[in-house]
Amino acid sequence: MAESKREKIAIIGSGMIGHCWATLFLGGGYQVCMYDISQDRVDAALNAVQFKLNKLKDEGLLHGTLSIEERLANLSTTTDLQECLAGAIYAQESAVEDLQLKTDLFMKIDSLTGPDTILASSTSTLAPSKFTENLKHRENCLVVHPVNPPVYCPLTELIPAPWTKPAVVDITYSLMTAIGQSPIKLTREVDGFAINRLQYAILAEAWRMVHSGVISTADVNKVISEGLGLRWAFYGPLEVSHMNADGIKHHNERYGPGVIRVLNDFGPTPTFFEPETLEKIASDLNQKIPVEKLAAHRAWREHQLGAIAQLKRKLAKEKPADL
């Protein structure tokens, strides 16, 4: 189906996130052009896509039916932004996270595209209204924010600016589904979007508990990696509440007052700058994950995430028909 499309996708910025987007769009049968600011970077991105395609194939996780050779034949690179955008139906910007850079880049992209190209940014922290307000085609702009590494974490949040056309969100949603991602839609901009609001709520409490000496750095991490995170790979927090009692209403009757009591016990927003606590957390983390070994740990994390992706696929197939 998707493989019959003869449509082009522009990847603008081909680093850690951009090359993953290219890998994913190739799986939808699209023609993909990767742009970056130097020949070295586009060459590195091309190697990275080849590596990812082979790895995903080995893991049985390649989305779509094209062979690796066919996918690579649909891929091109350029250091010319105009060439990258020519004829593209959709552009995914994944340049470095910098408001001024994205503002300037979107001005250029806007001037090089017509009314029918969707302009998406991978930004983790910048609301789309911050860098699209004065564009000619601002109704075509939105944030399409992935989870790193997007080839193993399919969640992708779509955030419209106040002026984004609803159809642009809908088309992008279908496009994400077609390349094997799991899109979610926010109805409007909110700082941190959905992913980081949830992530930072947990980060804040982890920091508070270590700062106040209630728990060690190692143990607070274990709460997630050996406990909550295991369930969360399959069910979200509201579903967990629903399942931990006889439905969410029963959960609220039984545990609601306790939840409120604990929430009221949370302290003020931590500043994350108390030097002693930061020193302690950094030294604890460095024992398990020394900074000079970060790259190796990241690679190992990717490997483990690949194994979880495989497991989730297998389990989805085994799911009882009456569930």
Ligand X SMILES: *[C@@H]1O[C@H](CO)[C@@H](O)[C@H](O)[C@H]1NC(C)=O
Ligand Y SMILES: NC(=O)c1ccc[n+]([C@@H]2O[C@H](COP(=O)([O-])OP(=O)(O)OC[C@H]3O[C@@H](n4cnc5c(N)ncnc54)[C@H](O)[C@@H]3O)[C@@H](O)[C@H]2O)c1
The single residue among 9, 10, 18, 120 that binds ligand Y, judged by CB under 6 A, is 18
Question: Is the CB of 2 or the CB of 176 nearer to ligand Y?
Answer: 176
Sheet holding 8-12, edge to edge: 75-78, 31-35, 8-12, 88-93, 118-121, 141-146, 155-160, 182-185
User: Within the chain, how many helices (H) and strands (E) appear?
Assistant: 14, 8
In the complex with ligand Y, which residue's Cβ is closer, 2 or 84? 84
Antiparallel, parallel or unpaired: β 141-146 and 155-160: antiparallel
Neighbour count for residue 100 (Cβ, 10 Å) = 8
Decide if 26 contacts 74 (C-beta within 8 A).
yes
Nearer of residues 122 and 181 to ligand Y, judged by Cβ: 122
- Residues from 138 through 177 that contact ligand Y (CB under 6 A): 145-146, 148
Binding stretches for ligand X (CB under 6 A): 5-7, 29-31, 66, 70, 73-74
Name the closest residue to ligand X (Cβ).
31
Using CB under 6 A, pick the residue from 24, 26, 41, 161 that binds ligand Y: 41
CA distances from 240 to 232, 243, 322 (A): 8, 5, 20
In contact, 46 and 75? CB cutoff 8 Å: yes
Under a CB-based contact definition with an 8 Å cutoff, are residues 284 and 217 in contact? yes
Q: How far is the CB of 60 from ligand Y (least distance, A)?
A: 25
Q: How far is the CB of 112 from ligand Y (least distance, A)?
A: 12
Nearest to 118 by CA among 261, 7, 224, 4: 7
- Residue whose beta carbon is closest to ligand Y: 15
Smallest separation (angstroms) from ligand X to the CB of 288: 44
Using the rule CB under 6 A, which residue among 39, 54, 80, 96 binds ligand Y?
96
Task: Report the distance separating Cα 174 and Cα 166, nearest Å.
Answer: 13
User: Per-residue x/- mask for ligand Y, residues 256 to 295, rule CB under 6 A?
Assistant: ----------------------------------------
Least distance to ligand X, CB of residue 10, Å? 13
Residues of this chain that bind ligand Y (CB under 6 A): 12-18, 36-37, 41, 94-97, 101, 105, 122-124, 145-146, 148
